[in-house]
Amino acid sequence: MSEPIKVDFSDKGKGKGKSSTKEVYIPPEKAGLKIVLSVIITAVAGFITYYFMLPPMNFGALEFYMFWAIIAVIFVACNFLLSKAFIKPEYLPYVKRTAIAPVVIVLILAVVLLIGYLTSSVFFRAKDFSQLLTISEQTDINSSVTKIDSTVDFDNVAMIDSAAAEKLADKVLGDLATIGLESQFELATEYSTQINYKGSPCRVYPLRYGNIFKWLNNTSEGFPGYVIVNMNTQATEFVFLNDGEGAEGYMRYSPAEHFGKNLLRIIRFKYPTEIFGNVSFEIDDNGTPYWICEVIEKKVGLIGGDDVKGIIMVEAVTGDSVYYPIEDVAKGSSTDSDGNKVDLMWIDQVYDASLLVQQYNYYGTYSGGFWNSVFGQTGVKMATSGSSYIAMDDDVYIYTGVTSVTSDESILGFILINQRTKEAMFYNTTGATETAAERSAEGALSDKAWNATFPLLINLDGEATYFMSLKDSNNVVKSYAMVNVSNYNIVATDDADGTPNLVTCIENYAKVLQEKKSVTINVDTSVAPETPSENGGQAQENTKPDVTNTATGIIEDIKSQTESGTTCYYIRISGGSVYYKVTADKIPQAIFFAKGDAVTVTYKDSAVGDNWTEASSMTLAGEDTTQG
């Protein structure tokens, strides 16, 4: 039978009215069993789809509608194939009838989504979008940004940008090739975060596997550590997490993992209805790694107006996760299930920078209503094309200029938004955009063909100033530049000899300010700050007294690696968690050091890092093995 049977049911044989035909409903053999099989196959396929797609069971998420549409398609396809309607067209009416329920469900969801789209449209809800971010108007620049006066104090200023920091992090990872790390892992830069760590702006980089084969080789242990780059001093370090034998303490949970150790899969199964936002990598004050995941709520209609209602904090080593409402994170503390206080002040990025900029643009564009944003554009303003970060009061603020929609060369002011609390401040000061300042700095050294980093706004003795680094094509910082915010023709650099010199840059800037603007800045440059060397660390000696310390104990752990052709040993002794670094070229006896040996180590305060210390001497079995 090649065609469905059509039977004439016109007017019950009375010969009146229009004739009509109906398709005869012919179920296939064992129709009930095939329905059950279709349901089972759909359930299995649905679970697999959910496992990899990880959609939230939330009407505010587009993935929710996509998931159920996929489930409906799978069920209809299964029923079509099992009934063999593709070779027996007479079963098509049966397939159509069994498809009614899933199709109706999909249509209902489509209607809900359409209504949600309309109720969340900026056309109808412009005011609501503009109120996602509350702006505090400020006028005193002296209380707004990093203020530098009296002496040269750039401790909280990031001297490099993310691209230069990534190059330093890559170099440190490359130095670990002798112990197999560099060949197995690479930087997961998409999860890197700029944080305020122990009073300095730092960027932390988690790892990911180089490829699927390297994942197979290493997933049983996980990631041995992370890279931290001090954006001020350029000191860079690979932080090992394992304190004992084997993989104890390794990071086992990450977005770069697969299956049961994948971060998003872990939190999705624990929080099935939540909408997840940006995921970032941070460390607490003790260097313990955590993943911070935004939990999003829709504040405008059903699907519009993304905002953060809380975070899920996941310990990267153990996989333990805790949800904290945004109110607790903003105040910097919470209480656990046992009634103990939990410190949350160390968390720096709760609100992703792109989300905050988007919310500000809603505020600047739609505060006067939708039609004003299209036609009159009275008071319409928006963030400039770039943004950066400023560390203040142990928090990290996103910074960006604000410009009129009709101007692309000048700013109306700038905004600072706290990434932990979402406290937002607008400072009214006219001047050049960051892009104009970059061009001005690059033009001052046009013969060098160096590229300027995104400017940082600093308050140099009351004078609003753009500070930026100039880099070569390899992202190595070669020079510093300062551009006046109110007049971008006032620009100064250091000697531009390839060695960045902050003091010279400030002194040259002060001279240009006096000549072109008749403004005198009182900044004492006699106390020279430390100048970073090209490969990180410090090129100049610390001016503070250098105190020598001694530690004695039993060697509990030894690690080795090659750095610039020299074998280095990192030794941890009993009673401490810090590793002491000795080099084979300065202490040849280091190759004989073994676990269980009793040693005495001396080191200086200036050599103390976060997790390791440069040893100046080491005594083994009564023999002095002083370095160099």
Over residues 399-451, the pLDDT tens digits come to 898 998 876 678 888 898 999 999 998 888 888 888 889 999 999 888 888 99
**Mean pLDDT lowest among 26-35, 177-186, 382-391, 564-573:** 177-186
Q: Report the distance separating Cα 327 and Cα 66, nearest Å.
A: 32
Task: Give the pLDDT of residue 323.
Answer: 96
Query: Running DSSP on this structure, what letter comes out for residue 110?
Result: H
Mean pLDDT score, 327-354: 90
Structural domain includes residue 418: no
What pLDDT is stored for residue 97 in this prediction? 87
- How high is the pLDDT of residue 261? 92
Domain that holds residue 553: 548-624
Residues 102, 186 within the same domain: no
Stretch 197-211: mean pLDDT: 89
At 625, the pLDDT band (50, 70, 90 cuts) reads: very low
Q: What is the largest CA-CA distance in the chain?
A: 120
**32 plus 179 within the same structural domain:** no
Does residue 181 have a pLDDT over 80? no
447 within domain boundaries? no
Residue 170 falls inside a structural domain: yes
Does residue 324 carry a pLDDT above 90?
A: yes
Same domain, 293 and 186: yes
Least confident of 135-149, 449-463, 549-563, 575-589: 135-149
pLDDT, tens digit (0-9, with 9 covering 90-100), for 216-234:
888 888 888 899 999 888 8
| 3-state per-residue secondary structure call for 496-548 | CCCCCCHHHHHHHHHHHHHHHHCCCCCEECCCCCCCECCCCCECCCCCCCCCE
Range name among 279-293, 300-314, 448-462 with the lowest pLDDT average: 448-462
Mean pLDDT of 26-30: 79
Is residue 152 scored above 80 in pLDDT?
A: no
If pLDDT is split at 50, 70 and 90, which confidence band does 562 have?
low
Single-letter amino acid code for the residue at 114: L
Task: Show which of 95, 119, 143 is a domain's final residue.
Answer: 119
More confident residue, 284 or 376: 284
- Tell me the backbone φ, ψ of residue 264, rounded to 5 degrees: -65, -35
The residue among 620 and 451 whose pLDDT is bigger is 451
Helix axes 62-82, 31-53, angle to 10 degrees: 150
Nearest to 166 by CA among 180, 186, 185: 186
| pLDDT tens profile 513-547 | 988 888 877 766 554 445 554 444 433 333 334 56
Structural domain ending residue among the three candidates 331, 350, 369: 350
* Mean pLDDT over the full length of the chain: 82
Confidence at residue 211, expressed as pLDDT on a 0 to 100 scale: 86
Judged against a pLDDT cut of 70, whether residue 3 lies above it is answered with no
User: Could you tell me where the beta strands, DSSP code E, fall in 47-125?
Assistant: none
Residue 254 has a pLDDT of 93
Pair 68, 189 in one domain? no
For the segment 466-470, the average pLDDT, to the nearest whole number, is 91
**Burial 446-467, CB ≥16 within 10 A → b, else e:** eeeebbbbbbbbbbbbebbbbb
| 245 and 300 housed in the same domain | yes
- pLDDT, one tens digit per residue, over 83-105 is 887 788 887 888 888 889 999 99
The more confidently predicted of residues 469 and 184 is 469
pLDDT of residue 247: 43
Residue 143 lies in a domain: no
Residues 307 and 193 occupy one common structural domain: yes
The SS3 assignment for 192 reads coil
Q: What's the pLDDT tens digit per position in 104-142?
A: 999 999 999 999 999 999 999 999 999 999 988 765 565
CB 592 within 8 A of CB 609: no
Do 110 and 193 lie in one domain? The reply is no
Backbone phi and psi for residue 499, each to the nearest 5 degrees, phi listed first: -115, 105
CA 38, CA 51: separation in Å to the nearest integer?
20
Place of tokens 């830069």: 189
Distances (CA, A) of 99 to 71, 87, 355: 12, 18, 41
pLDDT at 123: 93
Predicted local confidence at residue 622, as pLDDT: 53
Position 486 in a domain: no
Answer yes or no: is 313 within a domain. yes
pLDDT at residue 496 greater than cutoff 70: yes
210 and 344 together in one domain: yes
pLDDT of residue 460: 82
Q: What is the structure's pLDDT at 151?
A: 40
115 and 170 inside one domain: no
Tally of structural domains, the chain: 3
Q: What is the Cα–Cα distance from 128 to 119, expressed in whole angstroms?
A: 11
Least confident of 23-27, 289-293, 356-360, 529-533: 529-533
* Per-residue model confidence (pLDDT) at position 535: 45
In this structure, the answer to whether residues 261 and 181 fall within a common structural domain is yes
Inside any domain, residue 540: no
Closest CA to 180 of 146, 224, 135: 224
Last residue of a domain, one of 101, 119, 137: 119
> CA–CA separation, 76 vs 92, rounded Å?
11
The Cα 244–Cα 572 span in angstroms is 10
Same domain, yes or no: 190 and 63: no
Q: Which pLDDT score is estimated for 609?
A: 53
Most confident by average pLDDT, 241-245, 273-277, 516-520: 273-277
Looking at residue 15, its pLDDT comes to 45
- Better pLDDT: 151 or 8: 8
Judgement on whether residues 180 and 114 belong to the same structural domain of the protein: no
**Which of 112 and 184 is assigned the larger pLDDT?**
112
Provide the pLDDT for residue 132: 95
| pLDDT for the residue 540 | 34
Predicted pLDDT of residue 392 = 79
- Indicate whether 437 belongs to any domain: no
